Amino acid sequence: MNREKRTAIYSTLRERMPAPTTELEFVNPFELLIAVILSAQATDISVNKATAKLYPVANTPAAILALGVDGLKPYIRTIGLFNSKAENIIKTCRILLEKHKGEVPRTRPELEALPGVGRKTANVVLNTAFGEPTIAVDTHIFRVSNRTGIAKGKTPLEVEKRLVRLTPDEFKKDAHHWLILHGRYVCKARKPLCGECPIVEWCEYTKKERP
């Protein structure tokens, strides 16, 4: 796929979603960080239901640390892997207080040093909380990037590097959100809605592969 097609795809997605953002609910970088940690192998809907109960009670590193692992678990019990996530969140809150004065760090190495935070989570926080032109590759973005041809790769990291390199600068800040929302609601895994797709004319998903 050439630059002109990528530009056309991103321009079309921007027209449809001029101000895209995450579907996770948050009011500050710390709330986003906790929500993204919880979202691993979980839906945004389930995370939002949990944090809607948690954040009115505790939405700072100190407040969540005061809950402790056992106090935190009841709020996130409906989320997959809640036991390990509770442990990681408490450890993360302690590190934030001890090393970062309770603030969420703004560099990838510092974020990835937090328990429960990998490259994808760090990219989401850097992009959504701090406006950095990072692109977090989840299953939706991995699928859309390969299926459309916008950035093919065999691993999420390979796709991420190609997206960062090939996405025109004017689109980099919002590319993550456009691609994930497109994958979630249009370019679905099992039955992509090609007949409703606004970027179908530039997509490399062959006709014989389409439903």
**CA gap 178, 145 in Å, rounded:** 11
Question: What count of other Cβ atoms lies within 10 Å of the Cβ of residue 34?
Answer: 29
Distance of CA 168 to the CA centre of its chain: 20
Asked if 29 contacts 130 with a C-beta cutoff of 8 angstroms, the reply is yes
**CA gap 41, 22 in Å, rounded:** 16
49, 120, 169, 173: the catalytic one is 120
**CA gap 190, 88 in Å, rounded:** 33
Annotated active-site residue 5? The verdict is: no
49, 53, 138, 174: the catalytic one is 138
Annotated active-site residue 138? The verdict is: yes
Helices (runs of H) and strands (runs of E) counted in the chain: 10, 0
**CA gap 93, 37 in Å, rounded:** 12
| Residues annotated catalytic, as ranges | 120, 138
